Amino acid sequence: MKLFGTDGIRGKFGESPINHDELVKIGHAFAKSLFGTKVGKILISNDGRESSLAIEKALSLGIKHQGSMVFFIGLYPTPALSIYLNSTAQSSEMRAGIQITASHNPYYDNGVKFFDNNGYKINSNFEETIENNYFFHNENIKEQYDESSKADDSDLFEKHYVDYIDDYFRLKMDNIRHPGDKYNILVDCANGATSKIISKILNNSFINLIPIFNEPNGKNINEKCGATDTNILKSFISEFNVNSPGYKKNLDKKTLKIDLGVAFDGDGDRAIFISPSGEEINGDEVLYILATFHKKNNNVESVVGTQMTNFGIQSLYKKNNIKFIETQVGDKYVLNEMIKSGSSFGGESSGHILVPVFDNFYIGDGIITLINLLEVIFKQEKDINSLKEEITSIPSKLFNIKVINKEKFIEDPQNIKVTKDLKKMLNEEGRILLRPSGTENLVRLLIEHRNPKQIEILSEYFYDNINKNTIV
């Protein structure tokens, strides 16, 4: 049995493994795997789900049973925790971080992501060590440890991230010609981790960030908003529909001009962009924009994507003499290949883009992705519509199928036959990719075809002919 999926441990709160008793064991296993019998320090932050406090309590019980200290940061983006650990790393202090988040999932899901002393997500070998310690743990952990919880000053961590982002923005905006007016960006915070901090960054710049969906209540994270549902953000930008739910009442559609929209996911590491005309720019397209710009200016030779990267965009990399390196889905796989190949840019279709920042630290941060895109826009003096028009991607659609068991669905003979039939029906005009989700009990079907009508025909064939006993 495995605890870890594509990105940490995730599930429905209250069910295995995201329940009190198992989370206590997970906290203990993490601390023991990292520190052994020594005392370390673990920072814990969250993305605002109502279950976060209960999960903090359970994890801290296990950590303190091992003997280490726990410091609670509160609402904080996942990449901000990673950045804090990296930029304050000290060889004399044993530290690590845990982000409580289910990323883009609905509020009733939750999970944990683990970071080492240098701010990087733990690798597969360390995940295996944690699993071994978890499954062989038989000690009784008492509730008495709960009273010794320590809370750090969240303002300290907030200021660190704000200063870091502002410094990075100044670095990237060096030697650009500033627009005459404020550049207005509508920011969908997904009622998640970026909600509190977004109004505090870039305040002394020519950028005007206008936040929406920035009022988390524990249950509204990713609810009809954020990187996985940009419909309302598109509607507002293209139609100035200020009466839609989630908008600030003081926005004036008669005077406001939106230059760009961006939607983050629940924990702030993904970013999907919306043009002034309401066009979506996904992770594949952002990665291509960044790579081709830096190919001209910094001689970028390669870029790392995943199996999900649009085939049309992969072809464009080849035309631009940029080597495309494919990995499994998951930012940890992208990061490993970036370091191995020396690539400066990598990412996923979902909007999770990784770039090197200060001291060559690789990070996937929605706000940093935004800053990198702004650098291209201002230095090339092109708006986002013009940049998107240069990209020819093949029409594609991702279908999420709820299943009883992911492995049994993939291995089912009838489903295997249907998948083979689909590949024959493509007639070399597109591709399909069927894979189990690493974070949810879903199977994901990607269909790409030069004719968008064929995508619907192929998907209907798939749904009509698969084994109905393998789906929910």
What does each of the 472 residues of the chain score in pLDDT, given as a tens digit?
A: 689 988 899 999 999 999 999 999 999 999 999 999 999 999 999 999 999 999 999 999 999 999 999 999 999 999 999 999 999 887 667 899 999 999 999 999 999 999 999 999 999 999 999 999 999 876 777 665 544 455 566 788 999 999 999 999 999 998 888 777 889 999 999 999 999 999 999 998 999 999 999 999 999 999 999 999 999 999 989 765 344 444 444 455 445 789 999 999 999 999 999 999 899 999 999 999 999 999 988 889 999 999 999 999 999 999 999 999 999 999 999 999 999 999 999 999 999 999 999 999 999 999 999 999 999 999 998 889 999 998 988 999 999 999 999 999 999 999 999 999 999 999 888 999 999 987 788 999 999 999 999 999 999 999 999 999 999 9
Rounded distance between C-alpha atoms, residue 328 and residue 150, angstroms: 39
Cβ neighbours, 10 Å, residue 376:
19
Beta-carbon contacts of residue 133 (< 8 Å; ≥ 6 apart): 28, 29, 32, 33
Helix (H, G, I), strand (E, B) or coil at 88: coil
Which tokens belong to 434?
């069927």
Cβ neighbours, 10 Å, residue 317:
21
Same-domain status, 205 and 287: yes
Q: Which residue, 254, 273, 248, is CA-closest to 263?
A: 273
**Pairing label, strands 95-100, 362-364:** unpaired
Q: Domain tally for the chain?
A: 3
Q: What counts of helices (H) and strands (E) characterise the chain?
A: 14, 19
Amino acid 250: pLDDT = 44
Domain boundary among 393, 418, 449: 393
Q: Give the length of the chain.
A: 472
User: Range of 131's domain?
Assistant: 9-152
Same-domain status, 318 and 183: yes
Strand partners, 401: 443
Rounded distance between C-alpha atoms, residue 449 and residue 316, angstroms: 16
Amino acid 151: pLDDT = 55
Rounded distance between C-alpha atoms, residue 468 and residue 447, angstroms: 20
Same-domain status, 182 and 108: no
Q: Are 177 and 165 in contact (CB under 8 A)?
A: no
Rounded distance between C-alpha atoms, residue 390 and residue 237, angstroms: 22
Domain boundary among 131, 152, 173: 152
Amino acid 215: pLDDT = 97
Same-domain status, 22 and 171: no
Helix (H, G, I), strand (E, B) or coil at 383: coil
Q: Which residue has the tokens 């279950």?
A: 51
Same-domain status, 100 and 213: no
Amino acid 57: pLDDT = 95
Instruction: With residue 75 as reference, give the H or E element that holds it.
Output: strand 69-75
Q: How many angstroms from the chain centroid is the CA of residue 234?
A: 20
| Residue 74, domain CATH | 3.40.120.10
Residue 2 lies in a domain: no
Residue 4 lies in a domain: no
Which tokens belong to 285?
């397209």
Active-site position among 103, 195, 275, 396 = 103
437: annotated active-site residue: no
Alpha-helix residue ranges (DSSP H) falling in 305-451: 311-319, 331-341, 366-380, 384-389, 406-411, 413-426
pTM of this prediction?
0.89
Same-domain status, 177 and 33: no
Amino acid 92: pLDDT = 65
Amino acid 240: pLDDT = 55
Same-domain status, 428 and 377: no
Q: Which residue, 13, 66, 11, 7, is CA-closest to 40?
A: 66
